[in-house]
Structure 1
Amino acid sequence: MRIPILRFRGRSRPFLTGALTCLLLFLSGPPAASDTTGGAPVRGSAYMGIGVLAHDGESGEPPPDPRASQTEGVDVSSHQRDVDWPSLWKSGTKWAYTKATEGTSYTNPYFAQQYDGSFDVGMVRGAYHFATPDTAGGAAQADWFVQHGGGWSNDARTLPGALDMEWNPYGDSCYGKSKSGMVSWIRDFLERYRSRTGRNAVIYTATNWWIECTGDYAGFGATNPLWIARYASTAGTLPAGWTSYTMWQYTSSGPTVGDHDRFNGSQDGLRKFATGDAPDAKALRAPGSGTASRS
């Protein structure tokens, strides 16, 4: 196969190089979440599940069967850009979480389209914060999150903010924290979030990360709903302190399309959870999952 050569009269080599580079970038779609040297991802480019996919991966099991007792959802970030919310709604997706912030400097440039767009089609929506405990304290990151879309309102359509705790895509798995230091960081975030919004934040995590980086700390299960990440046909064994999950991310499609999730209850239960009328984690059972018996 011969590749056609484009000739531009009167143009310099730098111009041609730049034009061809732009053309290639356009044809290749959104840039990958990595720096120009092929090293670690660019700060701010992390998305929910990036570390889970890299460390736990896919189980190879088929996805779970649909359950009438559970409600389908999706999580998105800037990688999805402008989301086709009407199509997702028609396909049965009834709730969504959008990445709002990371650390204390990043905000999602597509947040308004994603957060407001999901609301406009009828979904119950929420925002999440990708934690980077190596860059700033937990309270400071909670403040940044609340100030940039992570707040909560009692309108039956807004979910409490979610704290994304997973393997560090930029370096050390536990962000250079000891197990006790990580627990303290998480506690600082959760306490500040509750003081700012009146709601307990959801904790998104994977069991293996929780064991590795917190020592399987059990102290948050009584107050903070669990969003478990496991790409398999069951949610598996949960972190210590939780006997059930509130939400489950059961597939990861990487940065190209939104990940699929389930709320462990009906659509009516989802709205009650949004208002705070429903108990957090303890009233929700986890069909097909293991329970945490560790203390």
Structure 2
Amino acid sequence: MPVHRPGSFRQPGLLAAGILLALLALLSLLTALPAHAAGTPARGTAYMGMGVLGHDGRGGAPAPGLVAQTEGVDVSGYQGNVAWSTLWNSGVRWAYSKATEGTYYTNPYFAQQYNGSYTIGMIRGAYHFATPDTTSGAAQANYFVDHGGGWSRDGKTLPGTLDIEWNPYGAACYGKSASAMVSWITDFLNTYRARTGRNAVIYTATSWWTQCTGNYGGFASSDPLWIARYAADPGTLPAGWAYYTMWQYTSSGPTVGDHDKFNGALDRVQALANG
């Protein structure tokens, strides 16, 4: 008969209690972590194309044979201080910098990015990451204009862009119905136009737009489209728009990951800046 020595086994009840205590300790640790550490990003960290990565590809290169396209980039606080001379030397001629998000965040690197691109010779603009579940469209448009998103008639400043895409902090459509989302966007666009005299650019992806606005086509006659799709072509456009003005085609470009094409030669970029 085998002999059991002291300490060579544990009673089942003690073992179960030990496992329970370990699980409770792990649960306590997870609940103590900030939201972004547990899988949800921190407010303010969203950037243009953040949702596209999970829905419309991870990289792309325009197919050969496109009409004249002018290279651009878009940046946010994620990039920090940007090497604008390197981008200029690579052929980039226009740039957008994230200025704001919701009514609670301003990009701490905005001045270096917005002014740096201008100083090097690029045509520049600012964008706002929309969070329709936090405050009204009008409130966010005013916040955007008051924190760098305005427009000046200097020939080198593009109209502001509304970045409206997947919610990185929760439900894709921010808890809004299609009609409520259209109303929120309308509120933002009308306020921006009243403040600046310009129609804002709309940045979005066709799949998000279809899901969250019901593929609404009512903005196409006034607001330029900046389409996001990481592939060899921009694909099907949202309802109403017969063509795109800008196309974010990759998130893995050189120097700065997010690269874009303007649908035309440099003089067309200048035309948009001039209004």
> Same fold, TM exceeding 0.5?
yes
1:68 Cα deviation (Å)?
6.3
Residue in 2 that maps onto 1:111: 110
- Decide whether the 8 Å contact of 2:127 with 2:162 is kept in 1: yes
What whole-Å deviation, never above 9, does each CA across 1:62-119 have from its counterpart, x for those lacking one? 5433856110000000010000000100100000000000000100000000000000
Decide whether aligned partners of structure 1 residues 40 and 265 sit closer, same or farther in structure 2, where only a CA change above 3 A counts: same
Shift of 1:253: 2.9
Aligned equivalents of 1:84, 1:62: Cα separation in 2:
22
AA aligned opposite 1:224: D
Which has a greater percent of helix? 2
On the 8 A contact 1:97/1:115 being kept in 2, the answer is: yes
Structure-2 separation of matches of 1:229 and 1:36: 25
Q: 2:107 and 2:64 mapped to 1: Cα distance? A: 33
**Which residue of structure 2 lines up, in the alignment, with residue 16 of structure 1?**
none
1:109 is paired with a residue of what secondary structure?
A: coil
1:204 maps onto 2:203 in alignment: yes
Read off the aligned partner of 2:239 and give its amino acid letter: A
What SS does the corresponding residue of 2:215 show, helix, strand or coil?
Answer: coil
The answer to whether the 8 A contact 2:96-2:114 is kept is: yes
Equivalence for 2:212: 213
CA distance in 1 between partners of 2:116 and 2:235 (Å): 33
Unmatched segments (≥5 aa) in structure 1: 1-33, 277-295
TM-score normalized by structure 2?
A: 0.84
What is the match of residue 49 of structure 1? 49
CA contact (8 A) 1:63 1:251 kept: no
SS of match in other structure, 1:50? coil
Matches for 1:272-283 after TM superposition, within 5 Å = 272-276=271-275
Counterpart residue type for residue 129 of structure 2:
F
Cα pair 2:61 2:250 within 8 Å, conserved: no
Which residue is 1:21 aligned to? Answer: none
SS in 1 for 2:149: coil
1:42 Cα deviation after fit: 0.3
Alignment check: 8 A CA contact 2:153 2:274 kept? yes
Structure 2: distance between partners of 1:36 and 1:248? 29
For residues 5-61 of structure 1, the C-alpha deviation after alignment (integer angstroms, 9 at most, x for no partner) is: xxxxxxxxxxxxxxxxxxxxxxxxxxxxx8453221000000000011122223x76
Count residues in correspondence: 241
CA distance in 2, matches of 1:80, 1:57: 21
With a CA cutoff of 8 Å and minimum separation of 6, indicate the structure with the bigger relative contact order.
2
Look up the match of 2:38: 38
SS in 1 for 2:100: strand
SS at match of 2:108: coil
Between the aligned partners of 1:54 and 1:147, the Cα distance in structure 2 is 32
2:145 counterpart SS class: helix
2:145 alignment partner in structure 1: 146
Contact 1:72 1:263 in 2 (8 A): yes
In structure 2, distance between residues paired with 1:103 and 1:89: 31
Specify the SS of the correspondent of 2:208. Answer: helix
| 2:238 is aligned with 1:239 | yes
Which SS does the other structure have where 2:231 is aligned? coil
The separation in 2 between residues aligned to 1:45 and 1:146, in whole angstroms, is 20
**For the aligned residues, what is the CA RMSD?**
1.6
Deviations 1:115-166 (CA, angstroms, capped at 9, x unpaired): 0000000000000000000000000000000000000001110000000010
User: Is the alpha carbon distance of 1:114 and 1:135 closer, same or farther for their aligned partners in structure 2, counting shifts above 3 Å?
Assistant: same
Distance 2:40 2:64 in 1: 36
- Aligned mates of 2:212, 2:118 — CA distance in 1: 35
Structure 2 unmatched runs, 5+: 1-33
Please report the TM-score for the alignment, with normalisation by the length of structure 1. Answer: 0.79
Task: Measure the CA separation in 2 of the matches of 1:102 and 1:66.
Answer: 37
The whole-number CA distance in structure 1 between the counterparts of 2:112 and 2:66 is: 30
User: 2-side partners of 1:93 and 1:66: how far apart?
Assistant: 19
Q: Which amino acid aligns with 1:104?
A: T
Which structure has the larger Rg? 2
> 1:229-279: per-residue Cα shift (whole Å, max 9, x none)?
01111111000010000000000139x934000111111111111011xxx
